[in-house]
Each structure stands twice: as structure tokens, then as C-alpha cells.
């Protein structure tokens, strides 16, 4: 992607017949904005994709979201390359009884501003994740390896709307609202997969009790929606896909061993790096990253939480992307910042998709 509206790669795939528009079920993209509240590259890219697909799917632009889940995550710091991963589903291929990549999608209802970042938010997500797992044909939660969610954030207008109706929002700080929304969404995933008991997810634990988390959750907040768009990725014996997915959990931003573990789980040896032969098998790597609340990494002080000019999510995206890129030999991997309840504190889930 040369620009937020650059869909040349997608157009080429369709023109060559590599993919059919009607088979597209999801798009996960990294855009080049700052990844914060005022990152309009997410909405711009979403709009461009919807506009492009509306003609091909013979529907209005505002109806594309009911056919295709579009998740755009802002922030391509360091050497991270803006890109998009396209997921399609068809009946082609033969099942061999082995578990292959399966993808399911589901959207929640539109949430009210006062529900953002609350236990209500988590429960709506949990129900939708459960439905997405069924949509993917995955019958065992342990076969779910990555769940990507695009969730809403609070804006001044949304805060004012709630207050006019006599309702209170979780925070009046729009930037902090991103964290609450990501955290509530992640705990919803954890509930759906049985990683966290539903009764433990109350308003008070969201972005507070870090012992509660999901090892496969990746959530990204944006201004461009009011609901939660959910993409579940796992392996299923009911799939005839030519791909497989595996995951691990990074304990901190420089946990290279976790990267190698995720790659090993899809049959790729990365000791110390991925070979040229295996690099052709690798489709993409998806990771979440976050700074530890202590402001340290392996006992060393960092400036990620004390830099007044650059938010910690921007620092950590650059670091984790560089670590992964060094191992796989390609900077075009997906790294999203802000890992509230997503993996161990200061770390985050990482998943790899590879051709069989």
C-alpha cells in the first residue's frame, strides 16, 4: 500500500483471478497514521475498500460491512510496511482430515458510548466471538490461534451524547478510551474461549486487573465504527485450506523466542532466522505489543511511558516489528499497539499463517 487508498494489490489479485470478490470475507490492514484518536487513515482506508468492493459485490457502500469484515489498524512506525491481508472463503479444495486454517467473522450490535470499555462491552464481544468460532467451523477453543477485533472509541461528540441522556462514560479522555475499549474487547475474547471466567469480568477489572487476559486476543480501537468487527482465525478439520495458523505469546517486546515458537507451530524453522525456502511459505505474522506499566524491559528502564512527544504504542510497534522482521526477513508484518488484557503484561500474542 503506497497510500491509504492504494488498492492496486487487491485489484491485481482480482483481475488475475487469484481471488473472487464474492469470496472475500475479511481484510486486515496496517495504515500509516499515528494509531491514535485522530488517525483518519483507518477510516480513509476502510472507506476506500468499501467503495471499491461495493461495485464488485453489487451493493451500497454502507452495506459492504455486512459482507466483509474490514479491520484497519493505524501506525507503521520504524520499518513496518503498510499492507493488507485478504481472507477469502470458498468450497474449493478437498478435505484430508487434517486441521487447516479456518476463518469466521461476526459483528456485534452498535454499542452506546456509555457501554464502551465496560463489562457490557465484554459480554457483547464474548457472544459474537462464540458465533464467529461456529462460523469458522472450529469445534475446540484450543484450535483458535488469533482473534482480531476492531472496536470503537470515545469522541467528544459521543461523550456529549451520553451526558445529554444522563449517562456516564468510562472516561472523558478520548485517548484512554481506546485502552478501555481494547481491554473490554480482549476480555470478551477470553470469556468466549474459557480463558477467563465470565463472572470475574466486571467494570472494575477492565484495565486494572492484569492477571486476566487472553493469549490469542488482538484488539484495535478506531473512530470509524460504533460496533465491534470480529475475525476469528484457527484450524479446523472441516477446512480444505492450503494454510495453517499457529501462535505463541511474547513475554516482552524483544521476546524473539516467542516469535520462533509461533513459526515452529506452523512448521517453519527460524533458528536463528527463516530460510529463503521457508520464507516463501510464510503468509504473514500478526502480533500485539504493549509497554509494561513499570516502564521497564527486562529490568532496564525505557522511555516508552515517559516520552511526552510519542505515545508508548508507537514506540512498541516499532520495536516488535523490528524483532519480527529480523527473524522472518520481511518488514511487512502486522503489529498492533496497546495490549490491554492481550497476552502477558508487557507482552502480547503472536500468530503466524503459512502455506502447508
* CATH code, 100-233: 3.30.1330.180
Closest CA to 207 of 188, 180, 235, 233: 180
Q: Percent helix, strand and coil across the chain, each rounded to 5? A: 35, 25, 40
Residue 90 has a CB neighbour count (10 Å cut-off) of 12
More confident position, 184 or 91 = 184
Question: Look-up: residue for cell 487487491?
Answer: 10
CA distance 210 to 202: 13
Q: Can you list the pairs that 9-17 forms with residues at least 24 positions away whose Cβ atoms lie under 8 Å?
A: 9/84, 10/49, 10/52, 10/84, 10/86, 11/52, 13/86, 14/56
**Residue 92 predicted with pLDDT over 90:** no
As given in the structure block, the three cell numbers for residue 122 are 465484554
Question: Look-up: residue for cell 483518519?
Answer: 40
pLDDT for position 94? 75
Q: Which residues are known to be catalytic?
A: 150, 220
pLDDT in tens, 324-335: 999 999 999 999
**Beta pairing class for 144-152 and 348-355:** unpaired
* CATH code, 8-88: 3.30.1330.170
C-alpha separations of 273 from 174, 278, 327 in Å: 40, 10, 5
Domain pair 100-233 / 242-355, same fold: yes
CA distance 20 to 22: 6
* CATH code, 242-355: 3.30.1330.160
For residue 86, give the H/E element and its range: strand 83-88
Helix and strand element counts for the chain (H, E): 8, 13
- Boundaries of every domain in the chain: 8-88, 100-233, 242-355
pLDDT in tens, 252-299: 999 999 999 999 999 999 999 999 999 999 999 999 999 999 999 999
CA distance 218 to 20: 27
Instruction: Grade residue 81 by pLDDT with cuts at 50, 70 and 90.
Output: very high
The torsion angles phi and psi of 312, rounded to 5 degrees, stand at -60, -30
Burial 191-221, CB ≥16 within 10 A → b, else e: bbbebbeeeebeeebbbeeeebbbbbbbbbb
C-alpha separations of 337 from 35, 82, 90, 164 in Å: 8, 15, 32, 32
Coil vs helix vs strand at 13: helix
* 90 neighbors 19 (Cβ within 8 angstroms): no
As given in the structure block, the three cell numbers for residue 184 are 473490554
Instruction: Grade residue 3 by pLDDT with cuts at 50, 70 and 90.
Output: low
- Nearby residues of 205 by Cβ (< 8 Å), 6 or more positions away: 187, 212
pLDDT in tens, 119-160: 999 999 999 999 999 999 999 999 999 999 999 999 999 999
pLDDT in tens, 180-201: 999 999 999 999 999 999 999 9
Residue 74 has a CB neighbour count (10 Å cut-off) of 30
- Nearby residues of 165 by Cβ (< 8 Å), 6 or more positions away: none
Q: Which residues pair with 243 in a beta bridge?
A: 355
For residues 224-228, give the mean pLDDT: 95
**Beta pairing class for 100-107 and 144-152:** unpaired
pLDDT for position 90? 87
Question: Look-up: residue for cell 506452523?
Answer: 266
pLDDT in tens, 339-351: 999 999 999 999 9
Amino acid at each position: 500500500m503506497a497510500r491509504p487508498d492504494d488498492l492496486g494489490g487487491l485489484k491485481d489479485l482480482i483481475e488475475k483471478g487469484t481471488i473472487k470478490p464474492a469470496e472475500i470475507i475479511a481484510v486486515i490492514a496496517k495504515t500509516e497514521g499515528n494509531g491514535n484518536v485522530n488517525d483518519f487513515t483507518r477510516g480513509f482506508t476502510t472507506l476506500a475498500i468499501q467503495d471499491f468492493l461495493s461495485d464488485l459485490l453489487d451493493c451500497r457502500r454502507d452495506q459492504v460491512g455486512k459482507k466483509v469484515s474490514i479491520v484497519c489498524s493505524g501506525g507503521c512506525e520504524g520499518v513496518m510496511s503498510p499492507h493488507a491481508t485478504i481472507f477469502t472463503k470458498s468450497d474449493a479444495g478437498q478435505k484430508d482430515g487434517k486441521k487447516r486454517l479456518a476463518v469466521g467473522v461476526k459483528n456485534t450490535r452498535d454499542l452506546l458510548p456509555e457501554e464502551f470499555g465496560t463489562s457490557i462491552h465484554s459480554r457483547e464481544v464474548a457472544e459474537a466471538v462464540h458465533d464467529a468460532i461456529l462460523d469458522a467451523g472450529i469445534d475446540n477453543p484450543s484450535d483458535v490461534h488469533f482473534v482480531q477485533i476492531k472496536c470503537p472509541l470515545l469522541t467528544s461528540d459521543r461523550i456529549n451524547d451520553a451526558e445529554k441522556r444522563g449517562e456516564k462514560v468510562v472516561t472523558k479522555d478520548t485517548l484512554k478510551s481506546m485502552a478501555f475499549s481494547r481491554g473490554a474487547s480482549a476480555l470478551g475474547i477470553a470469556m468466549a474461549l474459557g480463558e477467563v471466567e465470565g463472572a470475574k469480568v466486571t467494570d472494575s477489572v477492565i484495565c486494572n486487573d492484569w492477571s486476566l487476559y487472553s493469549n490469542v486476543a488482538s484488539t484495535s480501537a478506531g473512530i470509524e465504527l460504533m460496533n465491534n468487527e470480529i475475525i476469528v482465525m484457527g484450524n479446523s478439520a472441516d477446512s480444505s485450506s492450503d494454510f495453517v495458523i499457529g501462535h505463541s505469546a511474547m513475554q516482552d517486546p524483544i521476546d524473539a523466542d516467542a516469535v520462533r515458537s509461533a513459526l515452529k507451530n506452523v512448521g517453519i524453522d527460524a533458528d536463528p532466522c527463516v530460510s529463503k525456502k521457508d520464507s516463501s511459505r510464510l503468509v504473514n505474522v500478526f502480533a500485539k505489543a504493549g509497554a509494561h506499566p513499570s516502564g521497564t524491559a527486562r529490568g532496564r528502564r525505557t522511555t516508552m511511558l515517559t516520552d511526552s512527544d510519542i505515545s508508548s504504542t508507537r514506540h512498541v510497534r516499532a520495536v516488535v516489528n523490528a524483532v519480527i522482521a529480523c527473524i522472518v526477513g520481511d518488514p511487512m508484518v502486522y503489529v498492533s499497539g496497546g495490549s490491554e488484557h492481550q497476552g502477558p503484561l508487557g507482552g502480547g500474542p503472536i500468530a503466524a499463517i503459512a502455506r502447508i
